[in-house]
Structure 1
Amino acid sequence: MKKIYYLILLFLTISTVSYGQNLEIASQSFNSSAADTWGIFYNSPSFGSNPYIFDYVSSITNGTDIIGTVGGSDNFLGVKYGNNVFPPIDEREYSLYFDTFTLNDASKDHLIEFDYEYIASSSTYVPDVTYTIYNESYTPLVSGTLLTTGTSPATGIATESISLPKDTYTYSSGLTMVLFISYPTGTIDAEWENTLLKFDDFKIYENGFDGYVYNSGVWTAPTGYPAAPDATTGSIDALIASGTYTISSEVDLSSLIINSDSYAIIEATGSLNVTELTTNDNLTINSNSSQFGSLIVDGSVTGSTTYNKHVNSQPDNDFISAPVTGQTFGSFASANSNIPSTTGSNIKFFGPWDRTTGSYVTWTTTGNSNRTLDPGIGYRTGSTDNGTFSFTGTVNTSSVSVDVYHKGDTPASQWNLIGNPYPSYVSLYDFIDYNNFSANGADILQVSRGGLYGYNAALVDYWTVYNLANTIGDSNIMAPGQAFYIAVDNDLTGVMTFNPDMRINGSGDDFIPGRINTYNKRELILSLSSDDVMYHTNELYFFDDIVTLGLDNGWDTAIYGNNDSGYTLYSQLVESNSSYKMAIQSLPNSSITEEGVTIALGLIASANKQLTLDIKETTFGENVEVYLEDIESEDSWTLLNDQAYTFTTTEKLNGTGRFYLHISENKTLSIDDENAIESLKFYTGNKTIKIKGSLEANTTLTVYDIQGRKINNIALKKCD
């Protein structure tokens, strides 16, 4: 009696394993459910009349024993007769169906490989088993024999390798392997219940891989290239054939293929730039509190990726977004037991900002389990252990647009929580520039808040503000999966866009400042502190040609909210002041080099508090002097270049009018300057100096003692 079994090898997924130096292009190891993996193929080829499918099983009972697995998998494909169902006397067809697969290179030889095992009580019950490989047109390509009647099969698992030389076959999208089983003649008895034909680990290989090959810690490099991939190998392919490859610095490749039985890890210090990537679900990216692994893919990605993103521990908040997306919240919550939750409840400390109510949502593992973690959406959360949250999903390689809006009758809706959707760093400057001035972003953001607001638990008021002024330069970057707020203008709806051109290599914490000088950028950052506690900073930037003394969209940005109850230092615009409380103000360099500039400072502080105003950072040269004027102090002028200014509030402060900043350059005297000085008259006596005359520009008077020690600096205003 003869039985015919069809195994349709029409593989969809291009996977990645090597057979020696060969590249695996398709595989099936039966590790998922039969319904997800297989379909019944009834129609063609037609070699018989009664089609059936193989049994897809995790174990088959042989009497009281469980017959083992094949290839280390819990699941395999089996042909089994039991429960008094003996081999039928009529001829039957058994077939399985895969979707089509695509050859990487039809000009190369290919290899089909699979594991099989036949279990029987004796050689009496061993059939003839042969096979024929057919192409998608059902033209036979090659035949072979697996078992022979009357011969005991090999003990344990056998591997069959079928070679398909390119000059003896023609196929492009599918293969069908047909098994012919001829049972020996004689008595058909119950012993057939104890026979089992098993198959597992089907693979199709492409002969020869041109590029780097990694085998269990050892690289085989192409001729003329470094011993292992690095930042100079962007034109070369790489294959992780076995073992675990760890990336701890920058690596550039044309393509990376990870074996289905191998792994790759991008450490927190590492970055991978690649055009094509096949992960086989075996790529992991790590991060810690100060560094984040980075992945940039310019082409396509096959398979999922896991990103382990560091998250601050409670009681501090953290604003995050999914660096890889598509995962459901139920799956995400199950994978991360360190998401804080209410004792005895399914409420998790994780959720988006509700723009209608002005509060954070806390998701539950019941009501929100099917919600997907979509790209570009920001979430408020925190961890129980200052550890990482594991995200598993799709690597975004194209533009991501996030819907934003502001309903005028709902003030909270102006604040939209969004985040970096890529597993790579993003240039802050490029994001702010694009979304302030591109066609889709223009006029969406509030003109006084054309930047972004990052949460910083180390600050008393929690917010760090970024705009074009303090992010200009490629080293100013946003970490993978970092979320932040943007402020949408009144009654507007639009989108904020992340595009692949914004991605950039980098290393560091959530928001990383840079120091690349552009447009002759100079900066002055003031600090407000008390008892070694840094309350707030105010940032002033000076550029050539690109900004004015008034409001410049994207370059001048107000503080988050009004912060009326906290300690806040801000400035007012020099011109066209509309009572904006500026966290960042940009000014032209000419305002310093010509006559000097006076900037009104605003302060929010409680009464009876000793506070200190000081220069936190500056790139000014020694020729630029920065004076702080306190109109309520007897010693009203303080040269901040030399010392900080400390005072005690006698009442609650909330506004401007008391403190002014005077910034100007000290010039070498010209002949005209000397003539102007000669026109002044100086009178001394009783420890005072009186000056009589006319000044054409703001001037600084420095007093020294007879030993050359500087005693005081006094700012003199020009005569109007």
Structure 2
Amino acid sequence: MKKITLLILLSLTFNFGVGQTALSEGEIAITGVNADNPDQFSFVLLTDISNTTQINFTDFGWISTGGFYTVVNEGIVSWTANSNLPCGTEIVIENIGSGNFSATSGTALLTDAGFNLSGTGDQLLAYQGNLTSPTFISAVHFGNSVGWTDATNTNTSAVPSGLTDGTNAVYIGNIDNGIYDCSATSNQTLILVGLNDNTNWSGSNTIRQTLASCAYACVAIGSCASTVTWNGTTWVGGTPDLTTEVNIDANYDTGNGGSEVSFKACSLTINNGAILTVDNGTYIEVENDVLVNDGQLRVNTQANFVQNDNNGTFTLGSSGTASVNKVTAIKQNWFYYTYWSSPVVGETIADAFPDTDNDRRFWFNAANYIDEHTVGTTNGIPDDIDDNNDDWSYALGTDVMNPGVGYATTSGRLGFFPRLDTADFIGSFNTGNINTPVVNNPLNVLPAYSWNFIGNPYPSAIDFIAFQQANSSIVDGTAYFWSQSLPLHGSNPGNQVANFNQNDYATFTVGTGGAAGANGIIPTQYIPSAQGFFIAGLSNGNATFTNAMRMADETSNSQFFKGSNSKKNTTTVANKLWIDLASNNGVFNQVLVGYVEGATKGNDGMSYDAPKLLSNVFAALYTSMENSDKKFAIQGKAPSDLNENEIIDLGFITSIDVETLYTLSIAQLEGDYLNNNTIYLKDNLLDKLHDLSDSDYTFTSEIGEFNTRFQIVFTNKALSTNDSNLNNNRLTIIELDDNHVNFKMSNSLTIKKVTIYDLLGRELYNLKGENSSETYELSKLKSTIYIAKVELSNGEIITKKTIKR
């Protein structure tokens, strides 16, 4: 039995030696840990330290009310520097057996013999001083699914006093062996931010990690180690990186290749009238300040320009200019809208969109958006349309575009269509923290659907997942992007004479992924520069954009999803299935079902399950789930749900009253299971099973809503033929007097649901049952043939044609 003692009464004391460095929180950071034998961990110095400096590491948990939770097989390793060491030094400590520990620099001594990292949950806390009054410096927790919590056993710990999770302490996940991914290595501030963000850690429960794999450089914020200059032909003084001050004294285009490619800089200055162009598919990353002293900085539509330090400045000299040029997708006509956000300071609406009519430039007033009823009614059923049409407001030409706010504009009327449009945003680039107001309006019937129109405020792409996670109490987990592929029409629901189609919204969830809008392009987690988008506000407050969310790479700022159009993707990733609905008269719609960690069969909220916007659609495909009346564009499920017995319910709605041929097809696949198993489409109305992996499925339909017509299944024998035929024979349908009809099973199975369709596929009744015999009044049925679909208690669905006389 382990002996448990609070170290309040008795403790080992470690006093500072003469001349050693007293450290504060965040002046070291733990960089890796291996709990699989032999124990090993690493840390990096984020300040210079002197000879004899001592740091203690313990796996005792911390109690939130104060004091350590101690047991046998927990203990302390004390490390002592044997020379002066500079900031950026990384040290690895390892158990080499017989109570001895090694260190790659300095010495490590086991001062409490119980030290033993556990893969089933443990912590590593770094401190100076003694155990009764420690000064904590850094901490990691790992190996269980609960994260930081109060210390009640050897596997748990509260965040130590004086430390903050995500700032100088981190829970790295349910892994035995973990390592930092080196995402920031250039200065103390960025290293500390990167190391205490658990998304920058990776690891394994079975494979030990190679520690000390990063090369750290402690360049002080605002200072640079050396200077390099571009003279028009070559770099003078070396090659640029995050430690070098970069001067551009002649024209440079990152798209030219050779010596002119993407680069990184500690600071950046443009002189001598030089033009620095950041071309499509390239980037420039600057650690600190930017000065366009005498020249031009041009960032093209699919380029990234990033500043890392939130204290970094962007300055235009008296002869300097900076601009971001954006090119839209092809527009079929002038009245097609684009959603924008300004990446520069002080840009006005008129300067950004000089050719657009004054009454075709808008911003969205989230506080005015109230959706209590379907438009034109008082039925209490929301439809994602503002009831009194005061949510969109005109953006005046003199209005300054606020950073982080979304704006909607059409093209100018003059010229020929189809065409691409361009917008030039001119001014100092936005950088650092940017706060954007978000509203949650409790007057909505569904307050969770309090829509807000915001936008990327930077001249680079941002990571929506990072943005949502940093603002998770304010911003829900789905982003909606306007793709504008379908024309406005008078028959679309809405407050105007003609309204746009909600099928034009592409959707992305942080947990499950993206589904295309009407243009067929699947969005990724990366939101391009200058792009506006809708989110749902969870509470009133400010959503904060930060430089840490910006992307310094070649691909993330592609205007739309960029990748293979193949239906096969053999990368080892989560299983995801995209299904398309199309028609011979222009309908396009897509749903995504993803089997991802954290999701369940139920409604997990908008981080995994994104509702379909159906207010202005002619036809749409959606998924459904038990115990929810919502229709979904994206549905997340647990990975364990995917097997040969899995069923995905697909619903279909159409208001098209002319003869139309619809097609269902697999748009894209990801994951081993989906790539290696046949996918079948089951048409419950026609009692057909179609191999969707082999070919698309075509069908016709009358106007209506068909919530249970289609299913995706993974076996062509979901029920044995004998059982199915047997139960089909045991179902009797008997017409009684006064328009009553009896449905009866002759065995022990009960009837869960009965759905009645006419021969045109229109759903006439959707009835619930709970007994083996159910009688319903079906007065709407005329004397004709109809189709009854009966769902039984064992999950079987029986479809029968019968005649009402």
TM-score class, shorter-chain normalisation, is: 0.5 to 0.7
The worse-fitting range, judged by mean Cα deviation, of 347-356 and 451-460 is 347-356
Identify if the C-alpha distance between structure 1 residues 307 and 463 changes in structure 2 by more than 3 Å, giving closer, same or farther.
same
Amino acid in the other structure paired with 1:457: Q
> Cα gap change, 1:660/1:269 in structure 2, threshold over 3 Å: closer, same or farther?
closer
| Aligned partners of 1:320 and 1:481 also within 8 Å | yes
Aligned identity (percent) is 22
1:349 alignment counterpart: 360
**CA, structure 1 residues 497+510, in 2 after alignment: closer, same or farther (shift >3 Å)?**
farther
The corresponding residue for 1:551 is: 603
User: Displacement of 1:386 after TM fit?
Assistant: 2.9
Find 1:415's aligned residue among 440, 451, 456. 451
Task: Tell me the SS of whatever aligns to 2:707.
Answer: strand
Kindly provide the amino acid, as one letter, of the partner of residue 310 in structure 1. Answer: V
Counterpart residue number, 1:589 = 639
2:282 to 270, 274, 294: 270
Whether 2:473 is the aligned partner of 1:458: answer: no
Mark the CA change 1:497 to 1:220 in structure 2 (over 3 Å): closer, same or farther. closer
**How far apart are residue 451 of structure 1 and its match?**
0.3
What does residue 509 of structure 1 align with?
A: 558
Aligned to 1:219: 234
* 1:401 pairs with 2:435: yes
Write the letter of the residue equivalent to 1:325: V
Tell me: CA distance 1:660–1:677, structure 2 relative to 1, closer, same or farther (3 Å): closer
How many residue pairs match? The answer is 435
Aligned counterpart for 1:488 among listed residues 505, 519, 537: 537
Aligned to 1:432, the other structure's residue is in SS state: helix
Q: What SS does structure 2 have at the residue aligned with 1:280?
A: strand
Which one of the candidate residues 559, 584, 603 is aligned to 1:531? 584
In structure 1, what is the Cα distance between the partners aligned to 2:312 and 2:285?
A: 12
8 Å CA contact retained: 1:629, 1:659: yes
Distance 1:358 1:647, change over 3 A: farther
Deviation per residue, 1:672-705 (Å, 9 max, x gap): xxxx99999999xxxxxxxxxxxxxxxxxxxxxx
Q: Which residue of 2 aligns with 1:20?
A: none
Partners of 1:476 and 1:513 within 8 A in 2: no
1:97-246 equivalences under 5 Å are 210-215=226-231, 217-222=232-237, 225-226=238-239, 229=240, 233-241=241-249, 243-246=250-253
- Are 2:343 and 2:458, in contact at CA under 8 Å, matched by a contact in 1? yes
Among 312, 319, 340, the residue aligned to 1:320: 340
Q: What TM-score do you get using the length of structure 1 for normalisation?
A: 0.54
Q: 1:600 to 1:340 in 2, by over 3 A?
A: closer
Amino acid at match of 2:451: W
**In the superposition, relative to structure 1, how do residues 317 and 379 fare at CA in structure 2: closer, same or farther (>3 Å)?**
same
Aligned to 1:590, the other structure's residue is in SS state helix
Give the match's secondary structure for 1:431.
helix
Q: Secondary structure at the residue paired with 1:625?
A: coil
In the TM superposition, what whole-angstrom CA distance separates every residue of 1:328-356 from its partner, at most 9, and x where no partner exists? Answer: x2xx524654x312xxxxx2632312342
What's the CA shift for 1:209?
11
**2:305 corresponding residue in structure 1:** 294
Partner of 2:714: helix, strand, or coil? strand
* Corresponding residue number in structure 2 for 1:310: 327
Determine if the alignment matches structure 1 residue 658 to structure 2 residue 729: no
In structure 2, what is the Cα distance between the partners aligned to 1:679 and 1:485? 51
2:697 alignment partner, one of 626, 642, 645 = 645
Letter in 1 for 2:697: Y
Gaps of 5+ in 1: 1-207, 342-346, 668-675, 684-715
Match of 2:653 in 1: 603
Q: Deviations over 1:58-81 (max 9, x none)?
A: xxxxxxxxxxxxxxxxxxxxxxxx
From 376, 382, 406, the counterpart of 2:404: 376
Distance 1:464 1:474, change over 3 A: closer
**Could you tell me how far 1:250 is from its partner in structure 2?**
2.1
Gaps of 5+ in 2: 1-223, 256-260, 317-321, 369-388, 413-418, 487-500, 515-521, 727-791, 797-805
1:536 CA displacement: 0.1
Cα distance 1:474–1:239, how it changes in 2: closer, same or farther (>3 A)?
A: farther
Q: Deviations over 1:514-548 (max 9, x none)?
A: 799999401111111112845100111112x4211
Partner of residue 247, structure 1: 254
Paired residues of 1:265 and 1:285 also in contact (CA < 8 A): yes
Amino acid at match of 1:535: F
Please say if residues 578 and 593 of structure 2, whose CA atoms lie closer than 8 Å, have aligned partners that are also in contact: yes
Name the residue aligned to 1:279.
Answer: 292
The correspondence for 2:469, drawn from 417, 422, 433, is 433
How many angstroms apart in 1 are the aligned matches of 2:549 and 2:571? 18
SS in structure 1 at match of 2:467: helix
Whether the 8 Å CA contact 2:342–2:403 is kept in 1: the answer is yes
Change (3 A) 1:535 1:302: closer
**Cα gap change, 1:429 to 1:453, in 2 (>3 Å):** same
Note the alpha carbon deviations across 1:248-294, whole angstroms, 9 max, x for none: 24211112111263332222333110113212274433334xx2443
Structure having the higher strand fraction is 1
Partners of 2:678 and 2:225 lie apart in 1 by: 65
CA contact (8 A) 1:432 1:554 kept: no
The answer as to whether partners of 2:480 and 2:535 remain within 8 angstroms in 1 is: yes
User: Which moved further from structure 2: 271-280 or 467-476?
Assistant: 467-476
Contact 2:300 2:325 in 1 (8 A): yes
Give the equivalent residue in structure 1 for 2:200.
none
Superposed CA RMSD in Å reads: 3.9
Note if contact 1:296-1:423 (Cα within 8 Å) is conserved in structure 2: no
- Cα distance change on mapping 1:661 and 1:336 into 2, 3 Å: closer
CA distance in 1: counterparts of 2:577 and 2:793, whole angstroms? 22
Q: Is the 8 A contact 1:280 1:302 kept in 2?
A: no
Whether the 8 Å CA contact 1:623–1:666 is kept in 2: the answer is no
From the superposition, tell whether residues 463 and 209 of structure 1 become closer, same or farther in structure 2 (CA, over 3 Å): closer
Distance 1:656 1:451 in 2: 23
Distance in 2 between residues matched to 1:638 and 1:247, nearest whole Å: 51
1:467 paired with 2:473, answer: no
Change (3 A) 1:259 1:569: same
Rounded to whole Å, the distance in 2 between the matches of 1:350 and 1:307 is 20
Deviations 1:137-156 (A, max 9, x none): xxxxxxxxxxxxxxxxxxxx
Does structure 2 retain, via aligned residues, the 8 Å contact 1:541–1:585? yes
Contact 1:596 1:663 in 2 (8 A): yes
Paired position in structure 1 for 2:92? none
Alignment-mate amino acid for residue 246 of structure 1: D
Q: Tell me whether 456-465 or 639-648 shows the greater mean CA deviation.
A: 456-465
Shift of residue 610, structure 1, vs aligned partner:
1.7
Q: Is the alpha carbon distance of 1:286 and 1:274 closer, same or farther for their aligned partners in structure 2, counting shifts above 3 Å?
A: closer
Contact 2:481–2:534 (Cα < 8 Å) also in 1: yes
Distance 2:523 2:359 in 1: 37
Matched-pair contact (CA < 8 Å) for 1:555–1:584: no
Q: 2:23 matched to which residue of 1? A: none
Matches of 1:657 and 1:681, distance apart in 2: 19
Of structures 1 and 2, the one scoring higher in RCO (CA 8 A, sep 6+) is 1
